[in-house]
Amino acid sequence: MPGVGALGLLLRGRTAQGAGRRGLAGQRRRHPLKRRGRRQGGTPRAGGMAPRVGSARGRHRAHLGGTMAIKDFFHVNVNCTDLDRSRAFYELVGFKVVVELGLGGAPEMLRGVGLPEGSKARAVLMLLEPDNPRGTRVDLIEWVEPATKGSNAPDLAHVGAVRLALWTIGIDEEYERLRAAGVEFISEPVGMGDGTRFCCFRDPDGLVLELIDFSGSRSRA
């Protein structure tokens, strides 16, 4: 009968829908680790689902200590009045030139550092370990137009970056080697309470550098 046939089809459809829902529910029960906020092994993911990359929540989490955008120091700019003299000094200390830049001043670079168009400089990038791509570079620059001006702070009790500390092994030998070469030292190696030892000296333009040796420290850096 047509009515029975239609009712049968309807009931079969409802039964199929119910079976489908039960099947999906069964699948969900068989895969509990795919529920929100769970990882393989059943351990909760902090804060539920991971935020989308670039989302406001993701940026906030990065700010609070998640994946940081800023990774490390890349280079430290040291302006000098005589590039050849400063290059020789930093080579004496142990740095090696990895990039040598002739006289120039690319417009985009000048715009980026806030100097007027037409400014010119000479520069070298130096590393203590040239084979270490993550090493912090010293960016020695002699400005030619306008010429490098001013002077470094007369002592360390001044605002700004006034000292570069260099991790050293064998500070006494290094102190004697540099002093014999005519380097101006502020002090001989001195010891701290934890066994760390350090001494300070100046580059040709008066910037203070430091040798610091943790070999005898009870709390290694």
Q: Residue 183: inside a domain, yes or no?
A: yes
Residues listed for the chain: 221
Give domain status of residue 83, yes or no.
yes
pLDDT for residue 45: 40
**Do 114 and 184 sit in the same domain of this protein?**
no
pLDDT of residue 217: 78
Q: What is the pLDDT of residue 27?
A: 43
Contacts of residue 164, defined as CB under 8 A and 6 or more positions apart, other chains included, come to 76, 78, 138, 207, 208, 209, 210
Does residue 102 fall inside a structural domain? Answer: yes
Q: Which residues constitute the domain of residue 167?
A: 151-221
Q: What is the pTM of this model?
A: 0.67
pLDDT of residue 158: 86
pLDDT along the chain (221 residues), means of 10: 39 42 43 39 41 52 68 92 97 96 88 91 94 91 93 86 93 97 96 94 96 83 53
Answer whether 76's CB lies under 8 Å from 68's CB. Answer: no
CATH number for position 142: 3.10.180.10
Are 146 and 156 within one domain? no
166 & 130 share domain: no
Cβ partners under 8 Å of residue 3, min gap 6:
none
